[in-house]
Amino acid sequence: MPASECRVELLIGRRVVDVHGDVVGRLEEVVADYDRGEYLVREFHVGSFAAFERLGGGMLGNALLRLLGGKRFHDGYAIPWNLMDLTDPDHPRVTVAKGTLQRIGETQVPELGGAIRRTSATR
């Protein structure tokens, strides 16, 4: 298997740490696009909300979790493929600090100088 390929089923549930060794969460979902006969990973979802999302929570589940549990349950990150280091698949890590990662449901807004906006607020 080439170095650019990895067995996704072996990654799910693995604990992910940041560049400083701080725990980001467990890898719960891999988001990929199908292009020209192969799947290309776009991002990884890590954390407790990512687990709920994987089970089918989606936007309605997001609102419900915020209503019932606040931030305690709404903790997850969308990590772009190029920030994930999988050279050791048993110990995945991100190449930046946890505090710089984008949370699930947030998006960067270039025209606002990279400010973060909740995608659910735009609908």
Question: Tens digits of per-residue pLDDT, 39-48?
Answer: 899 999 998 6
pLDDT tens string 58-72: 556 556 656 655 554
Q: Which residues pair with 107 in a beta bridge?
A: 117
Average pLDDT, the chain: 75
| Domains identified in the chain and CATH numbers | 8-122 (2.30.30.240)
pTM: 0.68
The string over 40-62, giving b where at least 16 C-beta atoms fall within 10 Å of a residue's C-beta and e elsewhere, is ebebbbbbbbbbbbeeebeeebb
pLDDT at 115: 39
Find the helix or strand (DSSP H, E) in which 51 lies.
helix 48-54
The two structure tokens encoding residue 13: 């549930």
Whole-angstrom distance, CA of residue 49 vs CA of residue 71: 10
